[in-house]
Every structure is written in C-alpha cells, then in structure tokens.
Amino acid sequence: MIIYLIRHGETDWNCRSKIQGQADIPLNKTGRKQAKLAAARMAGTPIDFAYTSPLRRAMETAGIFLTGRKNCPLHTSSLLKEISYGVREGQPLQLIHHCPFLRLYNFFKHPERYIPPREGETIQQLKVRSQLFLKEVTCNCKPDSSIMVFTHGAFIKATVSIVKQLPNSAFWSGSEVQNCSATILEFRNGRFGVLNICSNSIPFRQ
C-alpha cells in the first residue's frame, strides 16, 4: 500500500503568514495554480482511493487533483483536519516566533513543552487522530492500494513522527512541508515506512 500525503495549496493566510489551524480559509489564485501543477506531475500515478480534510483549502486541492479521475472515490474525514490552535488562530507567525511568552512559540521552538492555547489541541491529540486515520486506511483499503490524502502541514509532520517513532522534541525535524508537496508512506508486512518526505519534485510511482 502506498499513501501520498498532499499538503493543500497556498491560501491568503499562508501568504500573509497568519497561523490557520482549523480556520476554514480557501485557496487563493496561487494555491489553485500550485494544485494544478502538482496534479499534472502526478497525472500518470494510479490512485485507487482519496481522502480529504473537510477544510476548504484541502477539499479544493483534492478537487483539482482528482479532476478527470472518474473511478477514484473521494472520502472526507475529520481526522485529517489541521491541529487546532484554539483562540490564537489568525495570529501572525512573525509575532509568534519572536515572543517566547506566547504558548504557540513553544509549538514551533520547543514542541516537547507545548501547552495549547484555550480551545486548542495538544500534539498528542493530533497524533492520536493521525494514528486513527492510518488504522482506518489499513482496515478499509486493499494491501495493494494507492491512496491520495489531502491534509495539512502539522498533520503530515505528526504522521511522519508516528511512523519514524520520533519524540515531540523532533516534531519539526526534516524538510518544511511546502504547499502541494507530497510525503509518501508505504505500508508493507504490517508496518509503515517513509519513502519520500515533503518533496515537490519526487519521481512519482507510475
């Protein structure tokens, strides 16, 4: 089984460096273009099933990617939502990165110490959602399936952390998850592995 984790395209909040979380922000013009270009790169990649976060930026990305794939059913799963930043969604990232007294500062700088803002999620809660999704996919899809998943940056990092058994202190290790990048997982002999991480130029499987 191959799972392609695709981050959504750019939004205006991405462009303005505002933290989104579960705020339901649509793609902007650049985001739609990114999705079209990435979809063209994967046009020859067979996909049996697709899943998407219910947030608009992910659903729009999914719709662009799956145009013309008439035999690829799309399922929506709330497990794929981005981590919630609670009352701090919409806060400027520049402020967060330069203010150690803000709780979100630790999310990016010292994730092992992170305590979410009011109404927000912990990293462990995000990881539990990711684990539940991986279990759902392996139970519901055939072992030789190719699956495309449209989701969010922190969700992808959480999934890689689970597969690679990383501590929370290493949550942000590795490449940044760019808009419309793909992280590829393989499930074989009852175990997940990572084939590619956060790449915009990988040689997609044909």
The confidence score (pLDDT) of residue 201 equals 47
Query: What residues contact 189, with CB distance under 8 A and at least 6 apart?
Result: none
Residue 14 domain-assigned?
Answer: yes
- Domain with 186, as residue range(s), is 2-86+122-199
Q: Is the pLDDT of residue 200 over 90?
A: no
Distances (CA, A) of 34 to 80, 134, 152: 20, 26, 15
Residues 187 and 138 sit within 8 Å (Cβ to Cβ): yes
Residue 114 domain-assigned?
Answer: no
Share of the chain above pLDDT 90, in %: 90
Task: Label residue 85 by pLDDT band (50, 70, 90).
Answer: very high
The confidence score (pLDDT) of residue 199 equals 63
Residue 98 domain-assigned?
Answer: no
DSSP annotation of 86 reads G
Query: What residues contact 53, with CB distance under 8 A and at least 6 apart?
Result: 8, 59, 76, 77, 78, 80, 81, 82, 150, 151, 152, 155
Residue 23 domain-assigned?
Answer: yes
Residue 37 domain-assigned?
Answer: yes
The confidence score (pLDDT) of residue 196 equals 83
Query: Locate tokens 């058994």: which residue?
Result: 165
Q: What is the pLDDT of residues 90-140, one digit of tens each?
A: 999 999 999 999 999 999 999 999 999 999 999 999 999 999 999 999 999
Task: Label residue 178 by pLDDT band (50, 70, 90).
Answer: very high
Average pLDDT, the chain: 94
> For residue 48, what is the domain's CATH number?
3.40.50.1240
Residue 163 domain-assigned?
Answer: yes
Residue 155 domain-assigned?
Answer: yes
Q: Is the pLDDT of residue 162 over 80?
A: yes
Domain count, the chain: 1
Residue 186 domain-assigned?
Answer: yes
Secondary structure class of 145 (helix, strand, coil): coil
